[in-house]
């Protein structure tokens, strides 16, 4: 695989990202961080896991390196590789190695999508060793106290072929995420998009209807992220039904019958 296909982002977050806690996830994460424990985030897509990580990086004043995992991602992509630059062969650290060297928070998003060999480098970082083997360099990186490894995945999409082994899962402190309760979700939509409380409340009711269709035609219901996107369209002047169609329905499914059903739900509310 070519190195350029790796999707990794390194950020220093200077301004507080907006995040509304659902339970005690902030306190638990801080306790895990202080005790140098890795963290696993479980929850459906678009429920706020990435925003939570941005918020925690801001709270802890650490750089955040996010890796969007995919089925071509290998251990070498995370650790690093030799590359030819200007006619010379030079070593280039991968995002995981950079995070270890600089004491950053490394967030592996949807980690089960990566190839199985990635667990080889994750395991020694996720137990009391807190080490990263750099086999091609003959080096062993020891993680500083500031380093944290966090992974995430969506249990609803997992199968026998794509799941975390117990030998991996039991290394992590686990936090379970779900969609906020209706009142909080409406407040988030209102705050993130600028629509009024009435519109936000109707969008939440629309989302609840779609979530009831999970397993009955839809793989997933409307996420909070999709609701915020639809709300931004509405705030910009797009009619609500059209905004729900473009911002939610079309994103959820390509099936004509399900599209019609989801669009009918939105028009019943707007």
Residue 220: which residues within 8 A CB-CB, separation 6 or more? 44, 45, 156, 214, 252
| Token representation of residue 129 | 């060793």
Question: Looking at 156, 176, 196, which one is the last position of a domain?
Answer: 176
Same domain, 106 and 146: yes
Residue 216: what are its φ and ψ, rounded to 5°? -125, 35
Nearest by Cα to 26 from 47, 54, 68, 65: 54
Same domain, 15 and 65: yes
Query: Residue 103 sits in a domain of what CATH number?
Result: 3.40.50.300
Residue 23: what are its φ and ψ, rounded to 5°? -145, -130
Please list the pLDDT of the chain residue by residue as tens digits (270 residues).
344 456 677 888 989 999 999 999 999 999 999 999 999 999 998 999 999 999 999 999 999 999 999 989 999 999 999 999 888 999 999 999 999 999 999 999 999 999 888 988 999 999 999 999 998 898 999 999 999 999 999 887 655 456 788 999 999 999 999 999 999 999 999 999 999 999 999 999 999 999 999 889 898 999 999 999 999 999 999 999 999 999 999 999 999 999 999 999 999 999
In this prediction, residue 160 carries a pLDDT of 45
Same domain, 23 and 88: yes
Same domain, 41 and 128: yes
Same domain, 39 and 152: yes
In this prediction, residue 161 carries a pLDDT of 52
Cα-based torsion angle of the residue sequence 74, 78, 79, 83 in order, rounded to the nearest 10 degrees: 80
Same domain, 22 and 129: yes
In this prediction, residue 1 carries a pLDDT of 36
Same domain, 75 and 102: yes
Same domain, 172 and 206: no
In this prediction, residue 6 carries a pLDDT of 63
| Token representation of residue 162 | 């794509």
Same domain, 126 and 80: yes
Do 6 and 67 touch, CB atoms closer than 8 A?
yes
Same domain, 112 and 16: yes
β-bridge mates for residue 89, sequence order: 84
Element (H, E) at 194: none
In this prediction, residue 157 carries a pLDDT of 62
| Token representation of residue 269 | 């509310």
In this prediction, residue 7 carries a pLDDT of 63
Question: What own/partner pairs with CB < 8 Å and gap ≥ 24 does 3-8 have?
Answer: 3/77, 3/81, 3/83, 3/92, 5/70, 5/72, 6/67, 6/73, 6/77, 6/94, 6/95, 7/67, 7/68, 7/70, 8/65, 8/66, 8/67, 8/68, 8/94, 8/95
Same domain, 16 and 132: yes
Domain enclosing residue 188, as ranges: 182-269
Q: Where are the beta strands (DSSP E) in the chain?
A: 8-11, 39-42, 64-68, 80-85, 88-93, 105-109, 131-134, 139-142, 148-153, 173-176
In this prediction, residue 8 carries a pLDDT of 75
In this prediction, residue 60 carries a pLDDT of 97
Question: Looking at 161, 176, 191, which one is the last position of a domain?
Answer: 176
Question: Looking at 176, 202, 225, which one is the last position of a domain?
Answer: 176
In this prediction, residue 5 carries a pLDDT of 52
Same domain, 168 and 260: no
* Cα–Cα distance, 111 to 117 (Å, whole number): 12
Domains: count for the chain: 2
0.75 exceeded by pTM: yes
In this prediction, residue 165 carries a pLDDT of 87
């Amino acid at each position: 695989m070519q190195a350029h296909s790796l999707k990794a982002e390194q950020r220093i977050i200077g301004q507080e990202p907006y995040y509304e806690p659902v339970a005690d996830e902030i306190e638990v994460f801080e306790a895990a961080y202080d005790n140098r424990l890795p963290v696993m985030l479980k929850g459906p897509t678009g429920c706020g896991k990435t925003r939570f990580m941005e918020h925690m990086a801001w709270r802890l004043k650490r750089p955040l390196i996010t890796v969007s995992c995919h089925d071509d991602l290998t251990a070498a992509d995370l650790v690093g590789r030799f590359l030819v630059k200007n006619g010379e062969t030079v070593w280039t650290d991968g995002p995981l190695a950079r995070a270890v060297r600089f004491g950053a928070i490394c967030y592996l998003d949807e980690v089960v999508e990566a190839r199985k060999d990635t667990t080889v480098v994750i395991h020694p970082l996720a137990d009391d060793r807190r080490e990263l083997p750099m086999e091609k360099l003959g080096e062993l990186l020891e993680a500083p106290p500031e380093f944290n490894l966090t992974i995430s995945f969506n249990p609803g999409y997992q199968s026998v072929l794509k799941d975390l082994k117990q030998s991996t899962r039991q290394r992590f402190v686990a936090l379970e995420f779900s969609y906020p309760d209706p009142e909080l979700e409406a407040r988030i939509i209102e705050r993130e998009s600028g629509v009024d409380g009435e519109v936000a409340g109707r969008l939440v009711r629309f989302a609840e209807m779609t979530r009831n269709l999970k397993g009955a035609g839809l793989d997933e219901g409307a996420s909070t992220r999709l609701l915020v996107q639809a709300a931004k369209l509405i705030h910009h002047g797009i009619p609500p039904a059209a905004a729900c169609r473009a911002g939610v329905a079309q994103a959820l499914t390509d099936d004509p019958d399900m599209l019609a059903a989801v669009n009918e739900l939105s028009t019943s509310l707007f």
